[in-house]
Amino acid sequence: MSDIITTTGLCKQYGKVLRVKDLDLKVQEGVVYGFLGPNGAGKSTTMKMILGLARPTAGTIAVFGKEVNSRNRLSILKDVGSLIESPSYYGHLTGAENLRIISTLKGVQDKDIDRVLQIVRLENHKEKKVGQYSMGMKQRLGLACALLGNPKLLILDEPTNGLDPAGIQEMRELICSLPQQYGMTVMVSSHLLSEIDQMATNVGIISRGELVFQDSLSTLHEKSRPSIAVRTLNNEAAVKILDEQGVSCRTQDGYLLLSKLADNELAGYISLLFDRHIGVVRIEERRESLEDIFLELTGTAVSL
Ligand SMILES: Nc1ncnc2c1ncn2[C@@H]1O[C@H](COP(=O)(O)OP(=O)(O)OP(=O)(O)O)[C@@H](O)[C@H]1O
pLDDT at 299: 76
Which of 25, 36, 39, 44 to mutate for ligand 1's pocket (most ligand atoms within 8 Å of CB)? 44
Mean pLDDT of 37-54: 94
Q: Is 125 in the pocket of ligand 1 (CB under 6 A)?
A: no
Q: Is 191 in the pocket of ligand 1 (CB under 6 A)?
A: yes
147 CA from centroid of ligand 1 (Å): 26
Largest CA distance in the chain: 81
pLDDT at 176: 93
Nearest residue (CA) to ligand 1, atom 16: 42
pLDDT at 155: 97
Nearest residue (CA) to ligand 1, atom 24: 39
Instruction: Write down the H helix ranges in the chain.
Output: 43-50, 73-77, 95-106, 111-119, 135-147, 165-182, 193-199, 217-222, 235-244, 263-275, 290-298
Residues above pLDDT 90, as percent of the chain: 68
Span 149-168, pLDDT tens digits: 999 999 999 998 878 888 88
Which of 43, 45, 50 to mutate for ligand 1's pocket (most ligand atoms within 8 Å of CB)? 45
pLDDT at 304: 42
Q: Give the atom of ligand 1 at the shortest distance from the alpha carbon of 191.
A: 25
Residue 290 or residue 300, greater confidence: 290
ipTM score: 0.95
Which strands make up the sheet holding 210-216, listed edge to edge?
80-83, 153-157, 185-190, 32-36, 202-207, 210-216
